[in-house]
Amino acid sequence: MSVFSYKALNENNQNISGFIDAPSIDIAEGALLERSFKIIDIKEESSEEFSIMKFLPFLNKIRKKDLVIFSRQLSVMISATVPIIQALRAIAKQTKNKPLQKVIDEIADDVDGGMRLSDALDKHEAFDNVFVNMVEAGETSGKLDEVLEYLADEIEKSYDLESKIKGAMIYPAFIVGGLIIVGVAMIIFVLPNMVGMLEGSGQELPLPTKILIWISNAFRRYYMLIILFVAGFIGGTIMFVKKTELGANIFNIIRLKFPVFGKLWQYIYVVRFAGTLSSLLSAGVSLTGALRITGEVVGNEKYKEAITQTIAKVEDGYSMADTLEKTGIFPSMVVQMIRVGEKTGKMSLVLDKLSSFYAREVRNIVSNLSSLLEPIIMVVIGIAVAGMVAAVLMPMYNMANAF
């Protein structure tokens, strides 16, 4: 499959340009003619930039920040009564992100060919189920500009939260990484110089020293095998978690039970659950439909399973709050607030309040993450240093006493 850039005239004789994927230039031309385009110029993209994107997929990624800008620009243009196709073309020309520019051009082509905007968005991985369904609801209600502005706000909140979590993890990662580097350096470069002296003393070496010497010898003799084993173990674990249901379930259980991070992840899932459900309900999506979409985007199999059970019970006429309570993974406050929402008929408003509350809790935990992790890091460092000192100094102390 090749990428072709084209310039053409549409049915209204307006100049348009974009990209199209096709096995050959003839098929690409045929696809454009089917859309009633008059081709001015078409050529295969063989630039270095497209080659790099092809072989390095992570460079082809569309960031959340780009989606925020796209949503805001489209919302402003639609509210200003600019025709949607014209708005999409204008945004594509202004977009600096090449992958997103290509996606917007394809969406504009599909809409120009008679497809609804939500259906055109659904063809691209950059737009998740929530985005697509919210846009569809906006098209149905005639409030597409308001929906797009709301989506931009929600994506921006999610982006800011992820950035804060990553920023808070820099310090602990730096400390642990430095500890590992220093430990490996001592085992490889420092200990070998002391091994001869310790073994030449003729004394029985303590067990910690024997273990440290064995580790040092293993690192020096089989370092390549150790590197391959560690890389294989990490890669295998990632594949096991991502590709198997058992691995995903084990990982999700460990994630929720892990000290400090367990509560953080639980609150993040509650924010996603409440915020997504509130957005979809306020856009006019039915409760069961909103729950089904929420289950897909919440990001944890245990929560997805709980939401799936809730859908079945709600369809049978049971209370959503009672069903969620029986799953045992939602905080009692969430259950009580949803029960209030069911009784008052203000479910969307209640869920929005829940999302805001737990989002603040997440921000508080993230802000204090470094201080919360400090005791754990200090204990780990203390154990490592104590073990190293004991292994090195104990035989020296025994030698000194022998004389």
CATH T-level assignment (fold) for domain 63-168: Receptor-associated Protein (1.20.81)
Taking the C-alpha atoms of residue 307 and residue 292, their distance in angstroms, rounded to an integer, is 8
* pLDDT of 60 above 70: no
Give the Å distances, CA to CA, from 100 to 18, 52, 93, 103, 363: 11, 16, 11, 5, 30
Q: Which DSSP state fits 116?
A: -
Taking the C-alpha atoms of residue 70 and residue 94, their distance in angstroms, rounded to an integer, is 10
Q: Which two tokens stand for residue 92?
A: 């594509």
Nearest to 178 by CA among 377, 393, 390: 377
Taking the C-alpha atoms of residue 188 and residue 348, their distance in angstroms, rounded to an integer, is 60
Q: What angle do CA 346, 342, 313 make, to 5 degrees?
A: 135
The residue length of the chain stands at: 403
pLDDT tens-place string over residues 186-238: 777 777 776 666 666 666 777 777 777 787 778 778 878 888 998 999 899 88
Looking at per-residue pLDDT, the higher value among 79 and 172 belongs to 79
Class of residue 13 by CB neighbours under 10 A (exposed 0-12, middle 13-18, buried 19+): exposed
List the single range of 29-38, 119-128, 190-199, 326-335 with lowest mean pLDDT.
Answer: 190-199
* Dihedrals phi, psi of 43, to nearest 5 degrees: -150, 155
Sheet of strand 2-9, all strands in order from the earlier edge strand to the far edge: 15-22, 2-9, 38-44
Using DSSP's 3-state secondary structure scheme, residue 6 falls into strand
Looking at per-residue pLDDT, the higher value among 304 and 390 belongs to 304
Nearest to 8 by CA among 45, 33, 37, 47: 37
The residue ranges of every structural domain in the chain are 1-60, 63-168, 261-367
Taking the C-alpha atoms of residue 302 and residue 290, their distance in angstroms, rounded to an integer, is 18
Domain range 261-367, CATH architecture: Up-down Bundle (1.20)
Question: Residue 54's CB: how many other CB atoms inside 10 A?
Answer: 12
- The reported pLDDT for the residue numbered 321 is 92
Q: Residue 124 region, left (φ>0) first, then alpha (ψ -120 to 50), else beta?
A: beta
Where residue 337 falls among pLDDT bands split at 50, 70, 90?
A: very high
- The reported pLDDT for the residue numbered 49 is 47
Nearest to 165 by CA among 365, 309, 26, 338: 365
Same fold, 1-60 and 63-168: no
Nearest to 67 by CA among 34, 113, 43, 99: 99
Pseudo-torsion of CA 267, 271, 277, 278, nearest 10°? 130
Per the CB < 8 A criterion, the answer to whether 71 and 148 are in contact is yes
Span 286-305, average pLDDT: 84
* Dihedrals phi, psi of 12, to nearest 5 degrees: -95, 15
Q: What is the pTM of this model?
A: 0.65
Where residue 264 falls among pLDDT bands split at 50, 70, 90?
A: confident
CATH T-level assignment (fold) for domain 1-60: Ubiquitin-like (UB roll) (3.10.20)
Per the CB < 8 A criterion, the answer to whether 194 and 393 are in contact is no
Q: Residue 65 region, left (φ>0) first, then alpha (ψ -120 to 50), else beta?
A: alpha
Q: What is the separation of C-alpha 358 from the centre of its chain, rounded to a whole number of angstroms?
A: 19
- The reported pLDDT for the residue numbered 112 is 86
